[in-house]
Amino acid sequence: MRIKGDDAGPSSPSATSSVEFDEMMEADNESLRERVAALEQKALTQTDEIVCLRSTLADVLRRVNLLEGQLASAGGSLPFRLQPQVQTGAARNGPVRVSVSGPKESPGPRLRPQPGMRLPSQLPQRRAVHYQSTGSLHSDSPSSASGGGSPSPSPTHTPQQSASPAPPSRSSGPTPTPQSPGHRAAALSSLSLAKRWSSTGDFNGSSACSPLTSPHSPMAAASRLATKSLFNLYMKPANPQQYNHNNTYKHGVRDAIYNEEDGYVRMFLRGRPVILHAPSDVAPSFEITKVATAPQQRLKLEWVYGYRGRDCRSNVFLLPTGEVVYFIAAAVVLLNIDEQSQRHYLGHTDDVKSLAIHPNKLLVASGQTAGHDRKDGRSWRLNPPPDITAPEADYWPHVRIWNSVSLQTLHVIGIGDFERSICCLSFSKTDGGALLCAVDEAPDHNISVWDWQKGERGHKISETKCSNDTVVAAEWHPVDRGVIVTCGKSHIAFWTHELGGTLIKRNGIFEGREKPKYVTCLAFSQNGEVLSGDSNGHIIVWVRGGNTVSKVVRGVHEGSVFCLAVTNEGQVISGGGKDRRIVQLDHSLSSSGASAQLSDELGGVRAVAVGRGGRLVVGTTKNCLAAGSLASGMAAVAIGHTEEVWALAAHPSLPQFVSGGHDCCVRLWDSQSRSVVWSSDLPERLQSAAFSPDGTVLVLGLCSGRWLVLHAETRELLVQMVDGNEPIQVVKFSPNGKLCALGSRDNNIYVYQASDEYRKFERIGRCVGHSSFITHLDWSEDGCYLQSNSGDYELLYWNASTCRQVTHSSDMRDVSWATLSCPLNFSTLGVWPEGADGTDVNSCERSHSGKLLATADDFGKVKLYAYPACQPRSLCHTYGGHSSHVTAVRFLNEDSRLISTGGNDNSIMQWMVC
């Protein structure tokens, strides 16, 4: 330190004292550094000793828990309790003491259990808090408790060297920073709690580092990784790149690690480690870096069951080829009713919401809603990417114009211009279809006019706000050039599209008449008048070229008029929603007397397409299609579900399958005739279904905890049972049909014994141990064991006869399974894409031949893998068509076809394996 003052020469007294002072300070600093170094070395030595002691303690605890598990399975329990006594505060680096104490009620001498020793069962129960062991997939130890918020792998499964330590589990409360003194005190104080040590999760968050050493320093990391201590389980990654853009842990199979010594793969789902044991014949030669090839077989969409009529309009058209064009999910279907064949346009990535036919009857325009990026499931509408490029652009709402013969896409227009979805489409009529009108379902309900032939992306000529309220229809006038008519909630509007591209709007005037709540549909008479149907059941005729009412035809339907169509002869066909009637009116809109009524099973009339000779094709509000005429009546040609489809079961010996869902309806389908064998209404929503091995009965799991047993042919109700008050998520029969397991959303598996030709079911036990709802079940080939997955990424094994958990998952590595529907399994490791969060794969199914594996995911995709798919980098064939989460996939009896069901899109798709 220098003192400011007058300059002094080297020989001055002030200069001499300054030099001496500097030397003294330097000597003191050197002494201080030596003392600090000595303290650091001492602290590191003590830390290493503590780590060794804790490692020894962890081994003792593991052995005690192992012994306790063996005694528990034999009906006994330990008469003592093992609890660490860890000092905190000034003595926190002192020795670790372990006390062994017996229950207060039995103050006798302490006992040391010997191998094979059976202790008295009348010992008092422990009063301390006890976390029930589950032995989940996160641990091979019988004392693993999956009920906590963090997984707890066994220390025996910790690799000797770890390139990327497992990240810590998330915590809902505040956590002291690793650098703060409170962090170590909080970690150590958790070890001295009075609860019983039955989970290695008690060590989570503990630190073995010295306070003088950063917990993320290389020395600390090396010290912790050098031992199989339980403290090695979770370390916060020092590299921030291990986190994704949402500050959550990366998960998937990219960072999966294979332990060659113990023969298991460790992967992560939502930051939680998952342990999957390889079969004995696979473990020695397993290479985790190997890339598995896709199968030689492929899928081809053969048939789509259902139609979207519950919330869409004007979406049924007849082509000159005799094909009916309509849509459901992300597929546009071209159905030939006479030949019973379908073709499919699959260019869309999400829900198709609108359809229009070009005046040449060859081209089709279809508009879709905002899609999802299939890589990470994010909505492009809510989180738009910085640059719109293909293929990301396909997930924006847009319109596709394609050839109905070749199914080739000609133009894709509106990418980046639409906000939500295209609810209305119409080609211009007077200029040969040169222009296309589209209405966006955005809050302003914008209407736009496009020169769709200009370039591959088209050219937007004009755009303006259409209405504050919902718009349900938009049509170009067939005679008056440049006129567009729109209608919707409490309005009808007449637009004029001028040459400069300006859209001029005139609202319809009801002239003192009662304004309907909705103007629901539009049509044009042969003389150019605009016809509109409304929610009052009336048909209104509007003056040609004006916006005033010319005529009102009242009471055509009871309830809303949902659709209007004009035949080539000038007759008007009107369809009602509530009364389900189809009415024919003459030129003057007087009733001709011809009418028909749809059955309640089909629902109300949503859309009508008129063909030659009075032929009609009707789309209904219950997602069905009917065809026929007013003279001969209407018959169903396509039937669908109206709500989410979750239950799917394939017949064991026939090319048939059962589907059901939240519409309280179950149907048996024949895949060869593509028709319904029978349909039955249920008292409540259906969640799961399964055939018995001989196909004689069908078990249906309902959403209330009830489950029914029906005769598969007569639909006679044989048995009705209740287990809990949560949905029965999955039902499976054992291979011999004597046992039936039901996985519930209440975290339990109920096992029943069937007798008297499935007319009697007696419960033999309940499998308790999962900490979340059951999602999938499989029986072993001998019917002795069960494996199950749950909503928190667990894989547990059970003894079916005793309903006791098999706590050593490694003992089950060589068990052969009759079915493989658990997506969390060593043989299905490759179905998990990078970034999967554990809920993305909804269903998994192995073919009967054992060569193929199919999955259904949350992003509307059906994937086909070669079985087994145990390589993290397993290639597959990916197929679109569904627009919502795909809820289930099933191979039919001969593996010639695969069935998939959609959630919100209410569709069933039949794929041919070729």
Contacts of the segment 797-803: beta carbons below 8 A, 24+ positions apart = 798/749, 798/767, 800/734, 800/739, 800/741, 800/751, 801/764, 802/765, 803/749, 803/751, 803/764, 803/765, 803/766, 803/767, 803/768
CA distances from 47 to 51, 53, 209, 228, 535 (A): 6, 10, 7, 16, 80
CB atoms within 10 A of CB 811: 12
Do 147 and 131 touch, CB atoms closer than 8 A? yes
Residue length, the chain? 914
Pairing state between β 804-805 and 795-799: antiparallel
Is residue 649 over pLDDT 70? yes
pLDDT of residue 22: 63
Is residue 766 over pLDDT 60? yes
pLDDT of residue 205: 36
Would residue 76 be called left, alpha or beta, if left means φ above 0 and alpha means ψ between -120 and 50 degrees?
beta
pLDDT of residue 839: 80
- Confidence label for 335 from pLDDT (cuts 50, 70 and 90): very high
d(CA 151, CA 173): 17
Which of 662, 666, 663 minimizes the C-alpha distance to 649? 666
Is residue 118 over pLDDT 60? no
- Residue 863 is encoded by which pair of tokens? 């994937």
- Give strand pairing partners of 266: 257, 275
Specify the DSSP class assigned to residue 829: G
Do 619 and 628 touch, CB atoms closer than 8 A? no
Choice among 62-71, 100-109, 275-284, 592-601 with the minimum mean pLDDT: 100-109
Task: Dump pLDDT digits (tens) for 666-687.
Answer: 999 999 999 999 999 999 999 9
- Confidence label for 134 from pLDDT (cuts 50, 70 and 90): very low
Phi/psi for 36 (5° steps) reads -65, -40
Q: Which residues of 814-838 are buried (b: 16+ CB within 10 A; e: fewer)?
A: ebebbbbbbbbbbbbbbbbbeebbb
- Residue 617 is encoded by which pair of tokens? 């094709």
CA distances from 226 to 161, 211, 219, 230 (A): 8, 19, 11, 12
Sign of CA dihedral 134, 138, 142, 145: negative
Which of 553, 512, 499, 505 minimizes the C-alpha distance to 529? 553
Do 274 and 824 touch, CB atoms closer than 8 A? yes
Task: Dump pLDDT digits (tens) for 810-862.
Answer: 999 999 999 999 999 999 999 988 776 778 899 999 999 999 999 999 989 99
CB atoms within 10 A of CB 520: 23
Q: One-letter amino acid identity for 294?
A: A
How far from each other are the two terminal CA atoms of the chain, in whole angstroms? 87
Is the bond preceding 868 in cis, omega lying within 30 degrees of 0? yes
Q: Which residues lie closer than 8 Å to 239 by C-beta, 6 or more apart? A: none
Is residue 883 over pLDDT 50? yes
Task: Dump pLDDT digits (tens) for 712-748.
Answer: 999 999 999 999 999 999 999 999 999 999 999 999 9
Is residue 73 over pLDDT 60? no
Element (H, E) at 889: strand 886-891
d(CA 711, CA 709): 7
Task: Dump pLDDT digits (tens) for 223-235.
Answer: 333 333 333 333 3
Task: Dump pLDDT digits (tens) for 177-198.
Answer: 434 434 434 433 333 333 333 3
pLDDT of residue 273: 86
Do 136 and 206 touch, CB atoms closer than 8 A? no
Is residue 386 over pLDDT 60? no
